[in-house]
Amino acid sequence: MTMTMPVACAQMACATFDRRSNLAKADHFIQEAAHLGAQLILLPELLTSGYTYDRRLHDFAEPIGGATTRWLQRRSRQTGRWIGAGMVEAADEGIFDTFLLTGPAGECLSYRKLYPAFFEKLYFHRGRTAGIFDTPIGRIGMMICWDMVHARLYREMAGRIDLLLVCSAWPDLNQGNIPLFGIRDWMSRQPAQRPLQLAQKLNVPVAYCNMTGAFTTRVPGLGLTYRSPFAGSSSIADGRGKIAMAAPGKETVLVADVRVGNGEPPRKKAG
């Protein structure tokens, strides 16, 4: 079965360790996206905590089913929309960078980031399974930020999903105050390029929601403070080309129609 569905990416800045402020802002964007007709609304990675390298992440973490989960479920029921967002999950093993997707009938799906990047590994445990879920709106794949550069993960999704959702907090390293020789240019291109490449490889729509605003954090073990903007460039793409892209430095809601469940195999071999 094929259907056309309006999808939204809410590109927003998130305050560090200010759940109330971040959820209030997210609520504004959810209402705007719903008013524009979106049936699925995607928010950034680590929505409630903001993105940072800080031991306080352990204290800020909460379990699935906690306050953030209930908040998302309420908004899904009130608006009749599917809503996806990132959070710091507390579990017996430690904390995880987790992506929640809630539905209007009370659904709650969760995916733990498989590939924490760089300093994230000092704080977050890695997940164990790919985010592939059967839902009333089709077979949904879920990734978080750095996951999307790993061929092993998108090969596992090939032919098994109808729509890929990626929440992200990807900095613009080209504008950072600390040089990262050899990878900075490549890293800075990924938010704009990788979602379209995944859409073409998997032959499914891809919604990529990145954070915007300022990124400031202490660098673990180096005694330095890193500063750059987040890269923004949230996008909604299909297997034939980009549908819409947000400007890098702007808070905005991006909405586009995508065809979900076309039943076609991947156009290219994934990888």
Distances (CA, A) of 138 to 2, 78, 160: 9, 21, 10
Query: What b/e string do you get for 191-211 counting C-beta neighbours within 10 Å, with b at 16 or more?
Result: bbebbbbbbbbbbbbbbbbbb
**pLDDT band at residue 188, thresholds of 50, 70 and 90?**
confident
- The stretch 192-201 carries a mean pLDDT of 94
pLDDT tens string 55-102: 999 999 999 999 999 999 999 999 999 999 999 999 999 999 999 999
* Sign, CA torsion 109/141/12/6: negative
State residue 257's pLDDT score. Answer: 95
Q: Give the integer Cα–Cα distance in Å for 110 and 214.
A: 27
Give the number of other CB atoms < 10 A from CB of residue 252.
Answer: 16
Residue 189 has pLDDT above 50, yes or no: yes
pLDDT tens string 108-152: 999 999 999 999 999 999 999 999 999 999 999 999 999 999 999
Tell which residue, 143, 139, 142, 195, has the closest CA to residue 162: 139
pLDDT tens string 227-249: 999 999 999 998 777 788 887 88
CATH of domain 3-260: 3.60.110.10
Note whether 117 and 187 are within 8 A (CB).
Answer: no
Q: What is the CA radius of gyration of the chain?
A: 17
State residue 203's pLDDT score. Answer: 94
* In the chain, domain spans: 3-260
Stronger pLDDT, 136 or 177, i.e. the higher one? 136
Q: What is the side-by-side strand order in the sheet with 235-238?
A: 131-135, 138-144, 163-167, 206-209, 235-238, 241-245
The torsion angles phi and psi of 215, rounded to 5 degrees, stand at -115, 115
Note whether 233 and 246 are within 8 A (CB).
Answer: yes
SS3 169: coil
Distances (CA, A) of 253 to 36, 98, 109, 250: 9, 22, 23, 10
